[in-house]
């Protein structure tokens, strides 16, 4: 059945060219594979496809520290030895390496998430998809877990300009620590993260009893899990918890983090979810009919990430995709079966016993029962929009038109709107791969140096909201809006 939802999809053909370095498990190239399947399954004809306007410095400052942004902007592989103190201070170097075009990469994925938020604010779409986004570990002045700029926090801040309550749901296998921490002390954002917890698994936060602070007490929901989660075990917790969250919290908009490292067979993950089980979580949330910003996230077996996100794009659009993959530019990545749903081998023993899951569910429900219902939060002051209503209107392309191929305007020029602005359409054709996977001597999964490095466990920083310059502190923004 075709969906009646108005779906907007953000993609920038540049994103797949960024390269974290030899052997690094995070491969932006996976986004090319994803987009290629989306295109060749014919899904682009069923939604509006946009190339994002890269986020500008001023937008990043809504959450991140000025000196951290300046550092990201100026550091390069060639000059990084001149920045040793900053590399240490901002935790850049190992998990989060310096690579060519790093700042631009951040601008692109963040511009798409903020652009998606603006679309939802103006009700120009029911669902916005940005598989490039979802970098949930980044902190105010610290890179973490392959993430530099936290596009999710910035998108939520944008949504809070128009919405009283935002629900954030995170099914990545890692705790959504950066987002939780940013909104720890407010009841205007309720975060729910289901993740592996314990055994020193990154990032080490997200235990059941960590549930927020001050006015935000109870509004951070953590579901700590053990290795081997199956679809059945996941559903057992996810549905009742999320149903109760929706009943009590009544969010006006949902941000859904679709990290694909919770799938079976991931290089860093240890769950046994199938794509169907993964997508069912998203579908469960969509059925409430609340506008949703859908973001990517982790996912380190890149052909499966592409399968999963293409499949989920199809589900969002109400399309059941055929199991035989369409011909595409990256065919070899899907060998040997060339199927959308290759057989899933549950390779990890499920350590989540029935008793454990039942106890966990009871505790989660008890915590949720203590939440007070929403009280119609008044807007004391609403900060200016990132785009004006007219500009948003101006960026609406006529249906069926293709982007003309002109590169996006310079990121920091400060100009908005127009055909090249945030809403400029992306070429409907999958990018040709002219500067393709071999440009950096890597060919995705099969490359010669594809050893996944373990994520190092980093201590939590002391609280991202402390010490922000006046007027830019998101906590102040939140206080102003209460
Ligand atoms: Zn992850």
Q: In CATH, what number is assigned to the domain containing residue 425?
A: 3.40.800.20
pLDDT of residue 385: 64
Average pLDDT (122-137) is 98
With respect to residue 1, please indicate whether it lies within any of the assigned structural domains.
no
Does 100 fall in a domain? yes
- 2 within some domain: no
Is the pLDDT at 44 greater than 90, yes or no? yes
Task: Kindly name the residue from 24, 29, 136, 137 that is annotated as catalytic.
Answer: 137
* pLDDT number for residue 6: 98
How many whole angstroms from 285 Cα to the centroid of ligand 1?
20
Q: Is residue 112 assigned to a domain?
A: yes
pLDDT(415) > 90: no
- Residue-level pLDDT at 439: 28
Residue 392 domain-assigned (yes or no): yes
pLDDT value at position 375?
Answer: 67
pLDDT band at 346 (very low <50, low <70, confident <90, very high): confident
Range of the domain at 440: 7-481
Mean pLDDT over the full length of the chain: 82
pLDDT at 469: 26
Greater pLDDT, 46 or 407: 46
pLDDT digits (tens, 9 = 90+) for 212-263: 999 999 999 999 999 999 999 999 999 999 999 999 999 999 999 999 999 9
Q: Which residue has the higher pLDDT, 2 or 267?
A: 267
What is the C-alpha to C-alpha distance for residues 193 and 474, in angstroms, rounded to an integer? 21
Rounded CA gap, 19 and 118, in Å?
Answer: 29
Select the more confidently predicted residue: 419 or 103: 103
Average pLDDT over residues 51-60: 98
Determine the distance separating the centroid of ligand 1 and the alpha carbon of 64, expressed in angstroms: 21
Pick the residue with more confidence: 216 or 455?
216
Is pLDDT at 135 greater than 90 in this prediction? Answer: yes
The pLDDT value given to residue 12: 98
> Over the stretch 164-183, which tens digit does the pLDDT of each residue have?
999 999 999 999 999 999 99
pLDDT (mean) for 118-135: 98
Who has greater pLDDT, 44 or 413? Answer: 44
Report CA(298)–ligand 1 centroid distance (Å).
4
Evaluate if residue 96 carries a pLDDT over 70: yes
Is 144 among the domain residues? yes
Question: Distance (Å, rounded) from C-alpha 304 to C-alpha 205?
Answer: 27
User: How confident is residue 4, by pLDDT bands cut at 50, 70 and 90?
Assistant: confident
Q: 453 alpha carbon to ligand 1 midpoint, in Å?
A: 13
In a domain, 241, yes or no: yes
Q: Is the pLDDT of residue 352 over 60?
A: yes
The CA 299 to ligand 1 mean position distance, Å, reads 7
Mean of the pLDDT values across residues 437-460? 26
Is residue 345 very low, low, confident or very high in pLDDT (cuts 50, 70, 90)?
Answer: confident
- Which residue is it, tokens 């006046």? 470
Number of domains in the chain: 1
The reported pLDDT for the residue numbered 329 is: 95
Answer whether residue 252 is part of any domain.
yes
Question: β-pairing, 220-225 with 189-196?
Answer: parallel
Per-residue confidence (pLDDT) for residue 387, from 0 to 100: 53
Q: Which residues are annotated as a binding site for substrate?
A: 95, 145, 300
Q: Give 297 Cα–ligand 1 centroid separation in angstroms.
A: 6
pLDDT computed for residue 1 by the predictor:
55
Q: What whole-number distance in Å separates Cα of residue 221 and Cα of residue 143?
A: 23
Q: Work out the angle at residue 150's Cα, subtended by the Cα atoms of residues 147 and 151, and round it to the nearest 5 degrees.
A: 115
Catalytic residue at 137?
A: yes
Alpha carbon of 400 to ligand 1 centroid (Å): 36
Rounded to whole angstroms, how far apart are CA atoms 92 and 9?
Answer: 30
Residue stretches of the annotated binding site for a divalent metal cation: 172, 174, 261
**pLDDT for 372:** 79
Q: Report yes or no: 320 and 29 within 8 Å, Cβ to Cβ.
A: no
Asked if pLDDT for residue 464 goes beyond 50, the answer is no
Query: Which residues fall in the annotated binding site?
Result: 95, 145, 172, 174, 261, 300
């Amino acid at each position: 059945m075709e969906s009646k939802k108005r779906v907007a999809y953000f993609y920038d053909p540049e994103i797949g060219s960024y390269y974290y370095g030899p052997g690094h498990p995070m491969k932006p190239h996976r986004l090319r594979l994803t987009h290629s399947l989306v295109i060749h399954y014919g899904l682009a004809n069923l939604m509006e496809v946009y190339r994002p306007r890269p986020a500008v410095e001023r937008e990043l400052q809504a959450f991140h520290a000025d000196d951290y942004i300046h550092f990201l902007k100026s550091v390069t592989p060639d000059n990084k030895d001149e920045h040793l103190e900053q590399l240490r201070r901002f935790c850049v170097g190992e998990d989060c390496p310096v690579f060519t075009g790093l700042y631009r990469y951040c601008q692109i994925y963040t511009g798409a998430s903020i652009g998606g938020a603006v679309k939802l604010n103006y009700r120009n779409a029911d669902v916005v998809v940005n598989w490039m986004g979802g970098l949930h570990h980044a902190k105010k002045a610290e890179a973490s877990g392959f993430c530099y700029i936290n596009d999710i926090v910035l998108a939520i801040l944008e949504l809070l300009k128009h919405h009283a309550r935002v629900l954030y749901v995170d099914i990545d296998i890692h705790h959504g620590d950066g987002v939780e921490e940013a909104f720890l002390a407010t009841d205007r954002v309720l975060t729910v993260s289901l993740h592996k917890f314990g055994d020193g698994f990154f990032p080490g936060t997200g235990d059941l009893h960590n549930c927020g602070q001050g006015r935000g007490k109870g509004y951070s929901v953590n579901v700590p899990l053990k290795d081997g989660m199956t679809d059945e075990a996941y559903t057992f917790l996810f549905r009742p918890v999320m149903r109760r969250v929706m009943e009590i919290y009544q969010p006006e908009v949902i941000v859904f983090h679709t990290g694909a490292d919770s799938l079976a067979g991931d290089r860093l993950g240890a769950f046994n979810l199938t794509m169907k089980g993964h997508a069912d979580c998203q579908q469960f949330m969509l059925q409430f009919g609340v506008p949703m910003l859908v973001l990517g996230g982790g996912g380190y077996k890149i052909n499966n990430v592409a399968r999963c996100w293409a499949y989920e794009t199809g589900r969002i659009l109400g399309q059941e995709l055929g199991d035989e993959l369409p011909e595409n530019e990256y065919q070899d990545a899907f060998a040997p079966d060339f199927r959308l749903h290759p057989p899933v081998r549950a390779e990890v023993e499920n350590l989540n016993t029935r008793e454990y899951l039942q106890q966990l569910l009871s505790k989660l429900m008890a915590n949720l029962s203590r939440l007070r219902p929403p009280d119609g939060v008044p807007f004391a002051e609403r900060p200016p929009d990132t785009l004006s209503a007219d500009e948003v209107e101006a960026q609406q392309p006529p249906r069926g038109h293709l982007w003309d191929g002109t590169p996006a305007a310079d990121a920091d020029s400060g100009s908005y709107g127009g055909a090249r602005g945030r809403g400029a359409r992306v070429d409907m054709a999958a990018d040709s791969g002219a500067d393709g996977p071999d440009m950096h001597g890597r060919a995705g999964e099969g490359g010669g140096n594809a050893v996944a490095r373990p994520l190092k466990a980093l201590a939590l920083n002391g609280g991202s909201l402390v010490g922000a310059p006046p007027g830019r502190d998101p906590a102040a923004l939140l206080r102003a809006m209460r």
